[in-house]
Amino acid sequence: MKNRPLLEICVETLATALAAARGGADRIELCENLRVGGVTPSAELMRAARKQIQIPIFAMIRPRAGDFFYSEKEFAAMIRELATVKESGMDGAVFGLLDANRRADVRRTRTLVEMARPLPVTFHRAFDETENLMHALGDVIATGASKILTSGGEASVEEGIATIAELVEASRGRIEIMPGGGISAGNIEWVLRMTRAREFHSGLSTVLPSPVTDLMAFETEVCKLAELSRKGLPV
């Protein structure tokens, strides 16, 4: 019996979103400007993706590049962007807020999580900027978020693999830990085996240039990941 993990692919254009869906992705994370880690996609992009793609789409809410300590004006912008995400028919939202001390901003994150309902929320890799990941795990759980995207506090999943495995074990039944950061067909089976995670995230940036210009190559790489994920893990 197999336990099939879920494959989320991060994209910044409609063309790559369509290619990811054709390649077998289970879910899309939609944003713009991946060169800076992604920012909120336009309403036009969200609506076009929703119209043409059947699999779930989670949209990023990030008003600017840089750190994750937001002013009140920026927080107000995030509230407006969240409303647009819901109006555009997205299936979930992706965001992360930290305070001045680089801890998860529980109060303001919880406000956004409540406003997002019934949509699930992924707390993105702002999590990896916190000083104590295990403490941050409890903080993010307290916000009501559904998932945490993390590379274990390191630049890549491969470097943070031991910490990710600890987070997965500590989080069972409370929140989903989703490894991301340098996942490709070359290491996905190892990541699954080492972490026992049930969802994983890839933008394929380690194997393809960004922005993606070769859609066939992108779709092929997604297909490789999807096929490997279908092997699943022993229960």
| Bridge partners (DSSP) listed for residue 123 | 95, 148
Q: Where are the beta strands (DSSP E) in the chain?
A: 2-3, 6-11, 27-30, 57-60, 92-95, 121-123, 147-150, 176-179, 199-202, 233-234
pLDDT of residue 1: 36
Say whether 123 sits in a helix, a strand or coil.
strand
Phi, psi (rounded to 5 degrees) for 181: 120, 85
pLDDT digits (tens, 9 = 90+) for 4-17: 899 999 999 999 99
Least confident of 62-66, 104-108, 204-208: 204-208
pLDDT number for residue 235: 45
Mean pLDDT, the chain, whole residue set: 95
CA–CA separation, 155 and 117 (whole Å) = 31
User: Is the predicted pLDDT of residue 2 greater than 60, yes or no?
Assistant: no
Name the 3-class secondary structure at 56.
Answer: coil
- Of the two residues 98 and 230, the one the predictor is more confident about is 98
**Residue 173: left if φ>0, alpha if ψ -120 to 50, beta else—which one?**
left
Residue 231's pLDDT band, with cuts at 50, 70 and 90, is: confident
Confirm if 12 and 33 have CB atoms less than 8 A apart: yes
- Answer yes or no: is pLDDT of 18 > 60: yes
Average pLDDT over residues 161-180: 97
Q: What are the extents of the domains in the chain?
A: 2-226
pLDDT in tens, 87-136: 999 999 999 999 999 999 999 999 999 999 999 999 999 999 999 999 99
Peptide bond into 211 cis (omega under 30): yes
Cα–Cα distance between 175 and 41 in angstroms, integer?
A: 26
Q: Average pLDDT in the 37-62 region?
A: 98
Model pLDDT, residue 66 = 96
Q: Which CATH number fits domain 2-226: 3.40.50.720, 3.90.79.10, 3.20.20.380, 3.90.25.10?
A: 3.20.20.380
